[in-house]
Structure 1
Amino acid sequence: MTDASLADNPLFAERDLQAFDAIRPEHIAPAINELIARTRAAVERAADPALPPTWDNIVDALDDVSERLSRAWSAAGHLNSVVNTPELREAYNESLPAVSEFWTWVGLHEGLYLQYKRLAESAEYAAMSPTRKRIVDLALRGFRLSGVELPPAQRERFADISAREAEVTQKFSENVLDATDAFALYIEDEAELKGVPEDVMQAFANAAKADGKTGWKVTLKAPSYIPVMEYCENRELRAKLYRAYGTRSSELGDAKFDNSPLITELLALRAEESGLLGFASFAHKQLQERMAREPEKVLTFLRDLAQRTRGHAERDVAELRAIGASDFDLHDLQPWDLAFVSERLRTQRYEYSAQEVKQYFTEPRVIAGLFEVVERLFGVRLETVDAPTWHESVRVVRIARATDSDAGKTGDTIGHLYFDLYARAGKQSGAWVDSDRARRLRHGKVQSPVGFLTCNFAPPNGDKPSLLTHDDVITLFHEMGHALHLVLSEVDELGASPFASVEWDAVELPSQFMENFCWEWNVLSAMTAHVDTGEALPRALYERMLAARNFQSGLQTIRQIEFSLFDMLLHQQSTPGDTAQVLALLQEVRQEIAVLHPPAWHRLPHTFSHIFAGGYGAGYYSYKWAEVLSADAYAAFEEVAQDGDTLLPEVGQRFLREILAVGGSRPAIDSFLAFRGREPKIDALLRHSGLSEPLATTVTGPSSH
């Protein structure tokens, strides 16, 4: 295929910012097929044993072509996640096998592997920078973990496994999205929704009207589901929604969305893949590329944290049961009652509700406040610019170096971020950051990074802006931390970019670090404006929020440990079994860890996209692991804060220099040591979570020793 025949294909074009408004499903296959062909040819050239094994001939030459393929496929995948249509899904799935097969072929290419080995043994390697040496070393490890040293027959089977894994994880995601989108409850009697906040009710009415219906439309999307569970006095409705939410994509719902066979197949594929490589389990294989290194170390960490936490979690549950019985005559507190009773307990104890707080967090003001934090900490400027997008609500932000603040000027462009903040049909739930392209020094010129920041907040309601809960604000800051890791990297080589080589259990450090600023008075007061009055958040209300910061932190922490322990034990098995055995293992984990137990019909694994479709298989523990790092990193700001002000540019610059800017150019622990000057400690995490003081527990987990 010639460049001329692809001239009008936006996925094939080389642009700083992609023409997202012009990308159509029919563009995917032609662009991807041609870019695969070109990259395949480049691999064969680099693998020629007659070619001198130099950095320029191998690493740089392959980066030049493979980056174009990766960027085009990233754009296609991103659009498939945020504006999913039948046509786009079909086109994406049509190219998925070819992309999977190609990258598997690269990982199994013995000639290219031998060229990397020769490069590692060369005089050039001995004189390389530490970053380049690390890239070569990581590439060699990647080849080995991709099966390149396997005998031919096993290599072929490994390739088949990799291709099928890509298909299964994609179908898992589609089933969760489709099952969520398929549910809609139209309510005609307003009394059935008694207690639901007025602004949410208006959004429900607008949604029904958009469907040509009267009354109110309730869905399983977060901006709809969560307010009903927290505020609706109709217990029967809460139970109905809880069951619908908890049985999505399972055998208890629509059979065409059932993820049961996919879970069984994926676990079997992962176990076989790991066995071929000589590992005891998928967990053992995955941890080769992570800080923890061994499953046993993760299990010890999780169980130790569970012992420190369980007493607090049991106290949280006891309080819920007490108020449920005394205030609502709920002597048999059920899972669909928990959010409702929790919100009442919070309101009663701290004299405020999440709904009251939400009125102060208008999305435009929150975004402005977030930008102010980033600008002050890291010496940059953020400004919205015009650029093509995939949806009218998406904004594009340019990040530039700060220059003369008095003149309001900005310096050179550092990178761009696309902000896609609102929930809608055809968009995957949750929040995440993806890379469109990473920073790179290319032919003497710095290529700036571009990323996607995606959330699922309630959209604007009529002429009123989107209102965010404080949890939404924390989510936004969290994702901004990931985005900053991408755009503020100063690494010149793609192989050491943050998303390419930072250990998975450290990649949450910047994101969780940023969450801490959501609790600082000077930050919150500057980023709030009441939707009706424009008044900033009152100090008295802030103090009540701060007092409630660790409300049910024991319960929340033990739940995260439950998910993490289930994930690790599941993937530590050499023969995981079928879905029934997966559910049985989950029950065993709950018997050991949990203080609350969902009904037997609840199907958590069937929508656990993190571990079955999102890259967190044998890695969900990373959230808590990295939280130790992030809390300790934030303590560096707290230790020198004056009058509670942690927005300290001098410490921010050190964090930028030692954590964000270095990306994956060195091991994550080395970056932490450079910033903190010592090994990480758990003390700050326990203090921030209100878990410093041990509480008695009625059931103790296994010893961590």
Structure 2
Amino acid sequence: MFVSSDCTSNVTSIRVTSGMILRQRCVQHVIFLIIWKWISCPYKSKLFHSAEAIALSELNPLLDTSSLPHFSTIVSAHVVPGITKASEDLLKALKEYEKHLQETGSLPRTWESVEEPLEVLQVPFFYSWQIVNHLQNVKNSIELRKVFQQVQPIFVNITTCLDQSLITYNAFKELNKTSHNLDVPQQRILQSYLLSAHHGGADLQPQEQSKLNVINLKLANLTTKFRNNVLDSTKNFSIMLTDEESVKGLPELTRSLLVTNAVTETNQSTNPNKGPWKVTLDSQCYGSIMKHSQNRQLRKDLFHAHMTRAGSGDLNNKVLLEEIRQLRQEKAKILGYETYAHLSLSSKMVQQVDTVWNFLNFLRNKSYPAVQAELQSLQDFAQQHGHEGNLENWDIAFWMERQYESLFSLNDDELRYYFPLDTVLSGLFKLCSDLFGITILERNEGIEVWDPAVRFFKVFDENELLLASFYLDPFSRPQEKNSGAWMQDFITKSKLLHHTPVAFVICNQIPPVGSSPSTMSFGEISTLFHEFGHALQHMLTTVPYAGASGINNIEWDAIEMASQFMENWLFDWDTITAISGHYKTQKTLPQNMFQELLQAQYYFRASSMLYQLYLAALDMELHTSLDPWSQVKERVADKFTVLKPLVEDCIPCTFTHIFGENAYAAGYYSYKWAEMMAQDAFEAFTEVGLQNRDLVIKIGRTYRDTVLSLGGGTSPQEVFRLFRGRDPSPDALLRSYGLQ
């Protein structure tokens, strides 16, 4: 993964892992003077502390690593000088490190002399870079985009220099000869480093390295542009409604949201029942209209706009995604792989493309007949209730909601009122306390945030020892914040640096409307639990090495296990009573409504399964085939969909998981693979009976001590065996979808 620090602006992009870590015992060398100046104070309230760091921070808060980020004072103008300075410092330290490796080449290579100093010298730069990258996702603006575009080549250049350093690479290979002296997490970090170095071009000749660097810089720019195009095409679309008939059927909360959209940045006030109402493609608005609007033409127009986003004009991603596919294929060939999918899978649990296809086809064959039955049932129901002709794509959500209402005594809005955000958080934290023996407390004092709605929490163990902390950004801000939800591991646990973990937990639920608090749909609660599962694995790790602590170094097709595992607790009565409390009456969700939820969890479940398989197959085929994306989409849709997508449907143009980043490219199947593990893990609790809380708590501690504790320091297969006593089986996954 590493290059000489003399490398030029030829660059590459990697997902930085803590496999880049080292400490040098020869303290007489100058690099130790640099390194240990940086880590003179352990992280509790500070990360690094030196006169130089303080002086720099007075000029540029982005460079202040002595505390948590100064979000209230960091502005776009700080980005270019800050990242430039941080990169210069890193390259200088890297050159000193390489020089020292050369001077001590005759000495045996050890973990302390080869691996640890690298972690130390990288942290200041990547600390500042992660702040910039984070703000790009949650506080996007024209100004920030401009400076981000300027510094992205700097970031890629840094990762190239780290990736392709032959001196460092050779030192790691020497260390690998005596890897039997290392513990298991150290061995995994070492092997991960060597593979990442190979993927970064460390084994290539200079000419091939240059080609790879150019490709990776292009990919970094293209994926950023792809994400921005999706964000812009989403926020640029709107329809202003003035006729009361046009909002017929919409819930009160949705009408209030649309009215708020209409008067944003104005001094006007409107009536939710009189309008006007501004319709957007924001997920909250779009989803509600597709489920509830009785205006079929509005649903059709909105569906068409949603499925053709970033598909034309100045924000056209059709060309971009083909460029990305071509460049990834070229990259794979340079590195000696048949396709980009083969390159992607080389670092995952599932090593073979055929194994992925066998898995997807197995689940497809299980779910496809059930989906046919679900759609036929919906078609019959719709026709019985006045629908004429066949159901179209824009009819599905609407009639699903009507059928759902007829089958179950549940109403989305009524259900939402039982789940105010604060009550849900309180119940979630109680569940974590019961299962994992931790305490989570809000501690906003002295914490700077990027938006007034952001909150800060600390996590303590049974002895009141601080384990970790996290920021929570719960609400949608479609003009500046990317859609979806995610957890970012901002600071990783490190014994060497005395770091405790810090996470960003990002969601996109409806903010408070008027005097009403933010209340959550069942889907939004599931999303929160999902992302918090990631955060728990990041925060409760006991691995002392940053390269394998938390979610670092976990194979990507296992990374979703801890997150999807947490979603299951929404069907546990004790959890529901803890997270519910009507925002007006404070009454918990009635038992009869909970029983309805238990039955309703299987509604259209096979269709949900097949849609995820469609996306996974689409991803895999796009990264193994050279055919144009439209042909690939049609071919995959023929096999993995029952109701075929529109010809003009350009879903790949908004598929940010695989084209707006690299992590899930040729790896989207990971959601289903990890879900297989998650469902099997949760059955360890259901097998003893969720009502048997003593046994549930006992198993919860075991889960913490294995899945949440061991992180990437142990292979996912072995972690699962330690928790479950055997390898994972797909049976629990099939049962969770009503397919067995």
Report the Cα offset of residue 19 of structure 1. Answer: 1.5
Map of 2:153 onto structure 1: 97
Q: Cα gap change, 1:535/1:262 in structure 2, threshold over 3 Å: closer, same or farther?
A: same
Aligned with 1:499: secondary structure?
Answer: coil
Amino acid at match of 2:674: A
Equivalent runs, 1:397-408 vs 2, <5 Å = 397-403=457-463
Give the Cα separation in 2 of the matches to 1:550 and 1:368.
27
Equivalent runs, 1:164-183 vs 2, <5 Å = 164-183=218-237
Give the Cα separation in 1 of the matches to 2:73 and 2:140.
15
Q: Does 1:137 align with 2:187?
A: no
Q: Cα gap change, 1:86/1:109 in structure 2, threshold over 3 Å: closer, same or farther?
A: same
Whether the aligned pair in 2 keeps the contact of 1:180 and 1:220 (CA below 8 Å) is yes
Deviations 1:21-45 (A, max 9, x none): 1211111122212221222223223
Aligned with 1:414: secondary structure?
Answer: strand
Aligned with 1:7: secondary structure?
Answer: helix
Give the Cα separation in 2 of the matches to 1:11 and 1:492.
27
Give the Cα separation in 2 of the matches to 1:554 and 1:642.
25
Map of 1:85 onto structure 2: 141
Amino acid at match of 1:13: D
Amino acid at match of 2:79: I
Map of 1:700 onto structure 2: none
| Range with greater deviation from structure 2 (359-368 or 49-58) | 49-58
Whether the aligned pair in 2 keeps the contact of 1:343 and 1:353 (CA below 8 Å) is no
Map of 1:509 onto structure 2: 561
Map of 2:298 onto structure 1: 237
Amino acid at match of 1:480: F
Q: Does 1:381 align with 2:442?
A: no
Q: 1:54 aligns with which of 110, 115, 122?
A: 110
Map of 2:167 onto structure 1: 111
Q: 2:390 aligns with which of 322, 326, 332?
A: 332
Q: Cα gap change, 1:42/1:56 in structure 2, threshold over 3 Å: closer, same or farther?
A: farther
Give the Cα separation in 2 of the matches to 1:600 and 1:437.
45
Report the Cα offset of residue 549 of structure 1. Answer: 0.6
| Range with greater deviation from structure 2 (351-360 or 236-245) | 351-360
Aligned with 2:482: secondary structure?
Answer: coil
Whether the aligned pair in 2 keeps the contact of 1:161 and 1:273 (CA below 8 Å) is yes
Amino acid at match of 1:535: K
Whether the aligned pair in 1 keeps the contact of 2:688 and 2:695 (CA below 8 Å) is no
Give the Cα separation in 1 of the matches to 2:449 and 2:265.
25
Whether the aligned pair in 2 keeps the contact of 1:459 and 1:466 (CA below 8 Å) is yes
Map of 1:698 onto structure 2: none
Q: 1:537 aligns with which of 589, 594, 598?
A: 589
Deviations 1:283-316 (A, max 9, x none): 0001011000011100000001111111111111
Q: Does 1:352 align with 2:410?
A: yes
Amino acid at match of 1:613: G
Report the Cα offset of residue 329 of structure 1. Answer: 1.9
Q: Does 1:271 align with 2:366?
A: no
| Range with greater deviation from structure 2 (25-34 or 386-395) | 25-34
Amino acid at match of 1:364: D
Map of 1:559 onto structure 2: 611
Amino acid at match of 1:318: Q
Amino acid at match of 1:415: A
Map of 2:33 onto structure 1: none
Give the Cα separation in 1 of the matches to 2:580 and 2:67.
34
Aligned with 2:657: secondary structure?
Answer: helix
Aligned with 2:644: secondary structure?
Answer: coil
Whether the aligned pair in 2 keeps the contact of 1:373 and 1:647 (CA below 8 Å) is no
Map of 1:702 onto structure 2: none
Q: Cα gap change, 1:352/1:642 in structure 2, threshold over 3 Å: closer, same or farther?
A: closer
Q: 2:354 aligns with which of 290, 293, 296?
A: 296
Q: 2:341 aligns with which of 266, 271, 283?
A: 283
Deviations 1:251-293 (A, max 9, x none): 2xxx111111110110011000000011000000010110000
Q: Does 1:417 align with 2:470?
A: yes
| Range with greater deviation from structure 2 (206-215 or 141-150) | 206-215
Whether the aligned pair in 1 keeps the contact of 2:226 and 2:320 (CA below 8 Å) is yes
Q: Does 1:427 align with 2:481?
A: yes
Whether the aligned pair in 1 keeps the contact of 2:539 and 2:550 (CA below 8 Å) is no
Aligned with 1:369: secondary structure?
Answer: helix
Could you state the TM-score of these two structures normalised by the residue count of structure 1? 0.93
Q: 1:17 aligns with which of 65, 68, 88?
A: 68
Q: 2:648 aligns with which of 577, 601, 608?
A: 601
| Range with greater deviation from structure 2 (27-36 or 170-179) | 27-36
Map of 2:509 onto structure 1: 457
Map of 1:526 onto structure 2: 578
Map of 1:44 onto structure 2: 95
Map of 2:660 onto structure 1: 613
Aligned with 2:175: secondary structure?
Answer: helix
Q: Cα gap change, 1:201/1:268 in structure 2, threshold over 3 Å: closer, same or farther?
A: same
Give the Cα separation in 1 of the matches to 2:565 and 2:693.
16
Give the Cα separation in 1 of the matches to 2:610 and 2:577.
31
Whether the aligned pair in 1 keeps the contact of 2:443 and 2:458 (CA below 8 Å) is yes
Report the Cα offset of residue 499 of structure 1. Answer: 3.1
Whether the aligned pair in 1 keeps the contact of 2:637 and 2:645 (CA below 8 Å) is no
Give the Cα separation in 1 of the matches to 2:518 and 2:621.
40
Q: Cα gap change, 1:418/1:5 in structure 2, threshold over 3 Å: closer, same or farther?
A: closer
Amino acid at match of 1:40: L
Give the Cα separation in 1 of the matches to 2:694 and 2:261.
42
Give the Cα separation in 2 of the matches to 1:330 and 1:677.
54
Deviations 1:415-434 (A, max 9, x none): 11111011012100001111
Amino acid at match of 1:482: H
| Range with greater deviation from structure 2 (346-355 or 652-661) | 346-355
Map of 2:289 onto structure 1: 228
Q: Does 1:663 align with 2:711?
A: yes
Map of 2:368 onto structure 1: 310
Give the Cα separation in 2 of the matches to 1:129 and 1:264.
44
Give the Cα separation in 1 of the matches to 2:122 and 2:197.
16
Report the Cα offset of residue 557 of structure 1. Answer: 0.5
Whether the aligned pair in 1 keeps the contact of 2:424 and 2:525 (CA below 8 Å) is yes
Aligned with 1:641: secondary structure?
Answer: coil
Map of 2:453 onto structure 1: 393
| Range with greater deviation from structure 2 (62-71 or 5-14) | 5-14
Report the Cα offset of residue 211 of structure 1. Answer: 4.0
Map of 2:545 onto structure 1: 493
Report the Cα offset of residue 525 of structure 1. Answer: 1.8
Whether the aligned pair in 2 keeps the contact of 1:25 and 1:88 (CA below 8 Å) is yes
Q: Does 1:218 align with 2:279?
A: yes
Give the Cα separation in 2 of the matches to 1:282 and 1:428.
27
Whether the aligned pair in 2 keeps the contact of 1:437 and 1:450 (CA below 8 Å) is yes
Whether the aligned pair in 2 keeps the contact of 1:479 and 1:511 (CA below 8 Å) is yes
Deviations 1:223-248 (A, max 9, x none): 11111111110111111111111111
Q: Does 1:76 align with 2:132?
A: yes
Q: 1:677 aligns with which of 701, 714, 725?
A: 725
Give the Cα separation in 1 of the matches to 2:192 and 2:92.
23
Flag structure 2 segments of 5+ consecutive residues without an equivalent.
1-50, 271-275
Q: 2:531 aligns with which of 463, 473, 479?
A: 479
Report the Cα offset of residue 152 of structure 1. Answer: 1.3
Report the Cα offset of residue 57 of structure 1. Answer: 2.9
Report the Cα offset of residue 56 of structure 1. Answer: 2.5
Q: Does 1:468 align with 2:520?
A: yes
Deviations 1:642-686 (A, max 9, x none): 536598221111111111111100111110111111011111111
Give the Cα separation in 2 of the matches to 1:678 and 1:489.
22
Report the Cα offset of residue 141 of structure 1. Answer: 1.3
Map of 1:696 onto structure 2: none
Amino acid at match of 1:658: T
Give the Cα separation in 2 of the matches to 1:481 and 1:642.
19
Amino acid at match of 1:231: H
Give the Cα separation in 2 of the matches to 1:685 and 1:564.
16
Give the Cα separation in 2 of the matches to 1:593 and 1:660.
34
Q: 1:631 aligns with which of 679, 696, 700?
A: 679
Whether the aligned pair in 2 keeps the contact of 1:42 and 1:62 (CA below 8 Å) is no
